[in-house]
Amino acid sequence: MPRLAPARQLPGLLLLWSVLQLLPPPAAPGPLDRPGVRRLGTRGPAGSPGRRPAPTRAPYSGASEPGGNRGAGVCKSRPLDLVFIIDSSRSVRPLEFTKVKTFVSRIIDTLDIGAADTRVALVNYASTVKIEFQLQTYADKQSLKQAVARITPLSTGTMSGLAIQTAMDEAFTVEAGARGPTSNIPKVAIIVTDGRPQDQVNEVAARARATGIELYAVGVDRADMESLKMMASEPLDEHVFYVETYGVIEKLSSRFQETFCAIDKCALGTHGCEHICVNDRTGSYHCECHEGYTLNEDRKTCSAQDKCAFGTHGCQHICVNDRDGSHHCECYEGYTLNADGKTCAVQNKCVLGTHGCQHVCVSDGAASYHCDCFPGYNLNEDKKTCSAIEEARRLISTEDVCGCEATLAYQEKVSSYLQRLNSKLDDILQKLQVNEYGQVHR
């Protein structure tokens, strides 16, 4: 439960008032029909509510067609710091106070509520002032409307000036949830009352307006028109409204919707964006493009982009541009594309070229392989390189031949030496025999 600020009393201050569209004036001008005041819910001769006229200015929705919803699809509420200041003095009967709460809830329904959008506070006043909840208390419509439904009347006097001063001092502060001047978020107060202020509102309302608060004043039944004008911002015909009874005050909520909306230029169809129109918070817009396209320099038209060139494709191996500005991924040979359409898994390790086989790589599946050799070769013990079968035999044969030739040459050389030696020995023996024979016969 949010902590409620205690009721407090403050001298001479005025209320901010906010209101929107109303119905045409009665056929015969009454005492309340004065310049600068809009009127809603006047009664016809039989006392029945009068018919609501067509708006004096074209609604933002452009809904000039009969039966069209005002603002439907064209109007979006702009961010506000919005404070309701509601009169709950004894002159407001319980059923009438319920009508005021319904009016507040219906306005909330037309707004985009949130911390970054519209923030809402409510100040309840009579002879005392009570802040029911601050701008930062609730950030969604349901919680806001539930808080509004729990509010009970204070049932005493009408200190409108005190209520306005309290709103300035305690509701429109950064500590209470209001956004600072650099945010450019409008500060708006809507004051609802059915009587004459019992304090001075002129000066306090002027101070409130001087601080940048836009004041709307809604008068009901016995409300004093001059006091409403003193509280409201200029131009008065857009900020001061009057209804004869609380029974028709709810109808003003549609006028506040129109007042607080920003034109949805994208819905109007005049934006000129080739692909996508995006509304900005300020009532302006900008153009964007579909995926696969980039915005051209004119900030409206789009060109198909080369996502593969931008490097944002996410493909693990190969990016392939398609005709419509899109792309798809492919994989190198030996890989297959995974289910994510981007990454690749090994299909054939032999194709990768990292197998190390000297001759032939044989794939055994997605992740295994073995090496083989060309015909006439055997796989070596390293299971990768190959040796020729005939070459081995040739080497062995060559070695044998070399051995034989060397042996024969050696043998021939030895035989030659032996033959020459034998010849010499024969000569020596022959000479010895001749000498010996000669001596014997001497």
pLDDT tens per residue, range 122-179: 999 999 999 999 999 999 999 999 999 999 999 889 999 999 999 999 999 999 999 9
Q: Please report which confidence band the pLDDT of residue 18 belongs to, taking 50, 70 and 90 as the band edges.
A: very low
Are 383 and 371 in contact, with CB atoms under 8 Å apart? yes
Give me the CATH code for the 354-396 domain, please.
Answer: 2.10.25.10
Topology, domain 38-263 = Rossmann fold (3.40.50)
Contact 86, 124 (CB under 8 A): yes
Q: How far apart are CA 261 and CA 253, in angstroms?
A: 12
Query: Cα angle at 181 between 180 and 183, to 5 degrees?
Result: 75
**Confidence band, pLDDT 50/70/90 cuts, at residue 239:** very high
pTM for the whole thing?
A: 0.52
Beta-carbon neighbour count of residue 254 at 10 Å? 20
Q: Which residue has better confidence, 130 or 30?
A: 130
Round to whole Å and give the CA distance between 232 and 218.
9
What's the whole-number average pLDDT of the chain?
79
How many angstroms separate the CA atoms of 215 and 206, rounded? 10
Range among 75-79, 205-209, 335-339, 414-418 with highest mean pLDDT value: 205-209
Nearest to 100 by CA among 121, 85, 120: 85
Would you kindly state where each structural domain of the chain is located, as residue ranges? 38-263, 265-305, 312-347, 354-396
To 10 degrees, the CA torsion angle through 224, 225, 228, 233?
-170
Contact criterion met (CB below 8 Å) for 192 and 85? yes
Ranked by mean pLDDT, the top range of 43-57, 230-244, 303-317, 385-399 is 230-244
Domain 312-347 coded CATH 2.10.25.10: yes
Residues 6+ apart with CB under 8 A from 197: 14, 15, 158, 159, 160, 161, 224, 227
* Pair 131, 5: CB distance under 8 Å: yes
Task: Decide if 265-305 and 354-396 have a common fold.
Answer: yes
Rounded CA separation 156/219 (Å):
18
Whose CA is closest to 151, among 126, 133, 135?
A: 133
Rounded Cα distance between 82 and 122, Å, is: 9
Strands 119-125 and 81-87: parallel
Q: For residues 179 and 88, is the Cβ–Cβ distance under 8 A?
A: no
In the structure encoding, which two tokens stand for residue 219, read together? Answer: 């008068």
Whether residue 323 is predicted with pLDDT greater than 60 in this model: the reply is: yes
May I ask the CATH architecture of the domain 265-305? Answer: Ribbon (2.10)
Q: How far apart are CA 131 and CA 164, in angstroms?
A: 11
Condensed to tens digits (0 to 9), the pLDDT of residues 362-405 reads 888 767 889 999 998 999 999 999 998 876 566 555 555 556 67
With CA atoms as reference, report the closest residue to 165 among 207, 224, 216.
207
What value, to the nearest 5°, has the Cα angle with vertex 85 and ends 79 and 88? 150
